[in-house]
Amino acid sequence: MKYVDEFRDQQLARQLAAAIAAEVDPGRDYRLMEFCGGHTHAIFRYGVQQLMPPNLRFVHGPGCPVCVLPMARLDQAIAMTREHGVTLCTYGDLMRVPASGRQTLLKAKAAGADVRMIYSTQDVLRIARTEPERQVVFLAIGFETTTPPTAVAILQARAEGLKNLSILCNHVLTPPALRAILATAGPEGVQLDGILGPSHVSTVIGTQPYAFVPREFGVPVVIAGFEPLDVMQSALMLVRQINTGRCEVENQYSRAVDEHGNARALELMARVFVTRPSFEWRGLGFLPESALALGEDYADLDAERRFPVRIEASHEIKGCECPAILRGLKEPTECKLFGTVCTPDNPMGACMVSSEGACAAYWSHRTHTPHSGRH
Ligand code: SF4
């Protein structure tokens, strides 16, 4: 297929693997964090890790929007359906993510809540238009990639005068999460030698927002595409930076990303959203200025204000290592529940549910035995 096959060419993959093997210094390790779940899946699906020399290891990052949504926000959404009888709309990946007490949106739906799976924000607008008697809440999640469509939906709802649509906003920001991971590197956190930066997020925000990573933490960044050759070429670019002592932001994914990002998308986001002072991330805890909320001009569309609920403190399922996995501290096979109690049919944590989750990637492309600690 044109524009796909070129980035999966076996001959080129062998050449890149040979170049990396020739250039790595056998006397040191290369720990490269791929921020995105999309990269994690490319690495597993195409066996990229197996093509690397033994001293180059990919470390999985927190770039899976479903995985980083804390239980409390799911509990809040479920409580809105129960206490206010709202119609809750969200993307399919979220439906089976465990909330407190092994509850899920799917189970809430089975128990009578009006929970609907949508494919785009346009579906939410259609439901609100065609069912004016229902209060429709869009459970919005995602990094900078999915934020502009939510902004468009909000502006469209305002323009159409839709009074029965509101947004439960959980959009999060990539740079603060990177900062949190790097700030805890060392004895308490993961030690990293380089970062494979996000593809889709960077089409929106550009390469400039990552400048603090080499400047403040001395760690090089390469913005990497999602195809296997993209990942391999990006790894080679990082190896070359590390070997020569360079430390900067490079852009492997130049066919889609530039320095400044998508000006129109950024303008829409700035018009509708404000930065929250603090927001909880699963695995990373509360991070300052790491998420968005609706600005005052759109407060009437904010589901948190329209449908307030009280929720109890939430607790991760005992034994689930999602928090450590999202910080790059553990691999899924180090979780005792992996492949035994926890499978895609019976997920215990978000990392096994989401199509971008590390546990789902290990399970789908597994070459290991459950709880072997190896893959
Ligand atoms: S295997 Fe399941 S229980 Fe273990 S960390 Fe992954 S999602 Fe959590």
Exposure string for 8-26, b = 16+ CB within 10 A, e = fewer: beeeebeebbebbeeebee
69 CB burial (10 A radius; 0-12, 13-18, 19+): buried
Residue 113 lies in a domain: yes
Q: Do residues 156 and 278 both lie within one domain?
A: yes
In 3D space, the residue among 278, 266, 270 whose CA is nearest the CA of residue 295 turns out to be 270
Asked whether residue 130 falls in the same domain as residue 36, the answer is no
> What is the whole-number distance in angstroms between the Cα of residue 37 and the centre of ligand 1?
15
* Domain co-membership, 80 together with 136: yes
Ligand 1 atom with the smallest distance to the CA of 325 is 5
| Structural domains counted in the chain | 2
Task: Report whether 253 contacts 242 (CB < 8 A).
Answer: no
Strands 30-36, 292-294: parallel, antiparallel or unpaired by DSSP? unpaired
Residues 46 and 127 in one domain: no
> Each residue of 286-341: pLDDT tens digit?
999 999 999 999 999 999 999 999 988 777 788 999 989 988 889 999 999 999 99
The string of pLDDT tens digits covering residues 227-247 is: 999 999 999 999 999 999 999
Q: Tell me the per-residue pLDDT of 24-43, one tens digit each, with 9 for 90 and over.
A: 999 999 999 999 989 999 99
Check whether residue 165 and residue 188 sit in a common domain: no
Residue 141 CA to ligand 1 centre (angstroms) = 21
- Helix-then-strand count for the chain, H and E: 16, 13
Claim to verify: residue 134 and residue 210 sit in the same structural domain: no
Q: Are residues 117 and 150 in the same domain?
A: yes
Cα angle 220, 222, 228; round to 5: 135
Q: Which pTM does this prediction carry?
A: 0.92
Residue 282 lies in a domain: yes
- Is residue 365 predicted with pLDDT exceeding 80? yes
Partnered with residue 222 across adjacent β-strands are 196, 250
| CATH code of 223's domain | 3.40.50.11750
> What residue ranges line ligand 1, CB within 6 angstroms?
320-322, 325, 332, 335, 337-338, 342, 347-349, 351-352, 359
Instruction: Residue 148: give the domain boundaries.
Output: 71-173+261-305
